[in-house]
Amino acid sequence: MFSKKLNSTLNIQNSTLKTNYPQPLNAINAINAINAINAINAKNVFSEVVMESKEIRRQFLQYFKEKGHEVVKSSPLLPQDDPTLLFTNAGMVQFKGVFLGLETRPYTRATSCQKCMRAGGKHSDLENVGHTARHHTFFEMLGNFSFGDYFKKEAITFAWELLTEWFRLPKEKLWVSVFEEDDEAESLWKTLTDVNPSQIVRLGAKDNFWQMGDTGPCGPCSEIIIDQGAEAGCGRADCNIECDCDRYLELWNLVFMQYNRDEQGNLTPLPKPSIDTGMGLERIAAVLQGKLNNFDTDLFSPIISSITTLQGVSYREDPKTDASVRVIADHIRASVFLLSEGLVPSNEGRGYVLRRIIRRASRHARLLGSEEPFLHRIVDAVIEAMGDVYPEIIDERERVKKLLKIEEERFIRTVEKGLQLFDDILKEVRSKNLDTIPGEEVFRLYDTFGFPLDLAKDIANDEGLKIDEEGFRKALEQQRIRARASRETEDQQENLIYSKIMEQAGQTLFVGYETLKKEATIKAIVKDGELSDTLKEGQEGEVILDRTPFYAESGGQVGDRGVIHSEAFHMEVLDTVKPIQGIHVHRVRVLRGEVRVNDRVTASVDKERRKATMRNHTATHLLHRALRMVLGEHVKQAGSLVEPERLRFDFTHYDSLRPEEIKEIEDIVNQKIMEDLPVRTDVMSIEDAINAGAMALFDEKYGDTVRVVSAGDFSKELCGGTHCNSTGEIGSFLILTEGSVASGIRRIEAITGEAVLGYIRKREDEFNRLKELLKTDSPLKRVEKLLKDLKTLEKEVERLKTSGASDVIGDALRNAVEVDGTKVVAVLSDGLNHKELRLLADRIKDRLQSGVIVAGAINDGEASVVCMVTKDLTDRFNAGQIMKRIAQLTNGKGGGRDVLAQGGTKDGNRFKELMKNIKEVFREG
């Protein structure tokens, strides 16, 4: 009946609602549909038309297309070629290179609806989301752009025409602000439009002058503002266009990019002035749908309906509930879009911002009463609202759900205790009528439970409280000082020695990229942590040369080994390290003769060892690229170790690799090895390297000049290590293991070249031995049969152990005692393990039907115990509590659920005596 009525309602040809809902409708879709209709049909006090968000997008882009603009697709939220930005935060970001004159496009006019994020960094609205009508993390920016084509005249005309003629906004409610020195803009507004001249306001640079950075393109701007009426305002008599309340709502910002600012702050006119405008879709949708809150628009209504339905809460009845619902609705949009672009939660950079967003939403879900992961359940609502516009979120639906569930499970698991203790701190602060939470208390939670400061700030903000961040930082610094003290004491003397050597002898010149053998001079010797003039036969120490072909351990690659010799002595190089930047230290053992400072020597690197290391290092680069191809662009290097024997590679990923993924990665790497791609190293500036597409590591520090290692067109990375001349030199590649090393970090260990051949031969030998032992040419089938037979025999043993227990069960039932009118059976049958005891207890329960069973067995003086309570008695007896009482009386351990528990004790004699007097367990103790 309800479904028929609803479908009938939806089939009505509403001029503003064009969505066709599927039939039959489920409950959530039904509620979402009704809310959409109500939102669209609401009385609109701001406009003569009511318009869906989809129609607003369409009409905006269509209008500018008719004005000669190229409709450009939204760029990703993760800027591909702008490391200065965490996220795309404005429509102009994808055109930044055009505005700066670094690139050209086949068009000079453009329009777009851009996905944007403002969370993290200086452009962050995270803490305000949920508490205001306008703040969001994820939002959409409508914009039009001119690259040296039209300027102020056309920009003003376009904006006014679209708002007043296409969107039918009442002209009397529109205000305009201009930069206080921009006479031209004010004059154009007066002559080109019929805006009320008294509603044109001049404002200062803080509000109406825009610049891309400290230097570069900049210019005045003009904002179009709508007066939403006194009921939307603060109620003050002096409320005006500059007030921070919601009465005067900024709709559209027109930036007139006409100057270039130099390093001295001087402004010079640009030869081709440009236009950059931005209007938030959420804001214009609220206005065109007659709403004073963005969350009441059709952009959010399906999501909010899904949240309230699944959580069983009402919206717009309780302010705290409403705030939590809005936080979840906003944050789930941001999470879905970021995850769909390949970003994964982590503890740094963009990944950390995503983790904060997910965890903040998860905490608010808990405030609504959710005890299990919740966010993955509302992904479908986001896709319903936005999937037709952004199909990429449809494609990534299942992956996004999986990642959200994993991250929420981690959050619940890791901060559960911290949340409970933080609630206690909040109660104590409120009881003392304080408005600030002590920083030392927050640090204690951070230090003990890993409770993040950001999460504490979010919770405090929701409760109207502040955190003493200075106190937190002081406590953190004190801990760091304590932790560093002993290390610095040990390291300081050592670093002083190497600094002194470099001051006197200069830096070591590394020539190991070009040669593995070099004549050199010994500049210093260190023995037992002190400078020395000599090293004698049999002694170990450290030697510093003026130049060396030995690679010093860095960037994950181990140091070289080899020999340093002259006619007078012979030294074995055990390792090469770089204790301070600029000095290569050779750790040596003197095998013959005596070594002195200023001796001339020949330094020779172990050639085969270096070659093996180079194979593994080049293979690491191929592996990194293959991982990104198979798993996604979210994969980033999180650590590596390159040795002659193997390579180890840590990377960001949310789940274990499937066998077919490992095979695909191996196949890609081996294919590139067989293609024998040339490996080239170029030295260039860091800027040129990044612009050329080289991959850099976020946690690495790079100088002004870097080495870029390329394997054909397949891989390109910043790297200071040593590499093959071509990928064919690697020979072959094999992954040995894949596993987890930390939350969100996976590790692969692999081998190359001769090590692969050795591994295969070893496995082949093992296989042949297995065939001999099993006396078959098909050992796999033989092992499968043996395991199957073993399982059958184990079941037979269990049956034989318990089938003869009929007499035991009968005796136990006859000897049952009563406790408060309930039968309690205590049975002791030695030689059984916990699994067999459960089988025995189950058989007793089947015959008992109602009662408590305590089954025990003694093996080697130790007792195993199982307790069962029939379901009809769980309101009076609890198996877990009974087991704890048994453990208490026998110095044992145990616990469990209401119907089943198990435990044990090392004191078998005491347990045996207790079983003879089982009523003792049920007495108050």
What pLDDT digit, counting tens, does each position of 258-272 carry?
A: 988 888 888 888 888
Least reliable range by pLDDT among 136-140, 204-208, 372-376, 598-602: 204-208
> Does the pLDDT of residue 870 top 60, yes or no?
yes
Report percent pLDDT > 90 for the chain: 57
Average pLDDT over residues 355-363: 90
Report the 10 Å Cβ neighbour count for 366: 18
Rg (CA), the chain: 36
- Of the candidates 305, 304, 286, which has an alpha carbon nearest to the alpha carbon of residue 232? 286
* Lowest mean per-residue pLDDT among 76-80, 99-103, 135-139, 255-259: 99-103
pLDDT computed for residue 22 by the predictor: 32
Span 590-621, pLDDT tens digits = 999 999 999 999 999 999 999 999 999 999 99
Tell me, what's the pLDDT at 799? 63
Instruction: Print the SS3 string covering 583-652.
Output: CCEEEEEEEEECEECCCEEEEEECHHHHHHHHHHHHHHHHHHHHHHHHHCCCCCEEEEEECCCCEEEEEE
Mean per-residue pLDDT, 385-400: 91
| pLDDT given for residue 14 in this prediction | 34
Taking only the tens place, the pLDDT of each residue in 15-40 is 333 333 333 333 334 334 434 434 44
pLDDT confidence bin for 484, thresholds 50/70/90: low
The pair of structure tokens assigned to 367 is 């405030």
618-637 tens-digit pLDDT? 999 999 999 999 998 778 88
Which of 21-30, 521-530, 814-823 has the lowest average pLDDT?
Answer: 21-30
Average pLDDT over the chain, rounded to whole?
86
Q: Calculate mean pLDDT across residues 326-339.
A: 95
Is the pLDDT confidence value at 348 over 60? yes
d(CA 195, CA 157): 11
pLDDT for the residue numbered 710: 96
Q: What is the pLDDT of residue 633?
A: 79
pLDDT in tens, 787-813: 988 888 777 666 665 555 556 788 888
Nearest to 424 by CA among 464, 459, 461, 379: 459
pLDDT at 25: 33
Q: Which has the higher per-residue pLDDT, 255 or 924? A: 255
Query: Does residue 540 carry a pLDDT above 80?
Result: yes
pLDDT at 482: 67
Lowest-confidence pick of 16-30, 395-409, 515-529, 883-897: 16-30
Distance CA 382, CA 338 (A): 13
Which of 54-63, 480-489, 698-707, 839-848 has the weakest average pLDDT? Answer: 480-489
* Most confident among 252-256, 486-490, 771-775 (mean pLDDT): 252-256
Neighbours of 231 (CB within 10 A): 10
Quick one: pLDDT at residue 351?
A: 86
pTM: 0.59
The residue type of 781 is K
Residues 91-134 pLDDT 10s: 998 888 888 777 889 999 999 999 999 886 555 566 678 778 88
Distance CA 867, CA 655 (A): 38
* pLDDT of 8 higher than 70: no
- Cis ω for the linkage preceding 24 (within 30 of 0): yes
Mean predicted confidence (pLDDT) in 237-244: 86
Given this model, what pLDDT does residue 124 score? 59
CA-wise closest residue to 351 among 120, 624, 128: 120
Q: What is the mean pLDDT of residues 214-226?
A: 89
Q: Which pLDDT belongs to residue 255?
A: 95
pLDDT tens digits for range 141-184: 999 999 999 999 999 999 999 999 999 999 999 999 999 999 99
Share of residues in the chain with pLDDT > 70 (%):
89
Name the DSSP class of 580: S
**pLDDT attached to residue 60:** 97
How would residue 10 be classed by pLDDT, with cut points 50, 70 and 90? very low
Higher-confidence residue of 465 and 735: namely 735
Cβ-Cβ contacts under 8 Å for 280 (sequence gap 6 or more): 139, 140, 141, 142, 251
Coil vs helix vs strand at 48: coil
Instruction: Tell me what the mean pLDDT of segment 70-95 comes to.
Output: 85
CB atoms within 10 A of CB 663: 13
Q: Which value, to the nearest 10 degrees, does the dihedral of the CA atoms of residues 149, 152, 158, 164 take?
A: 180
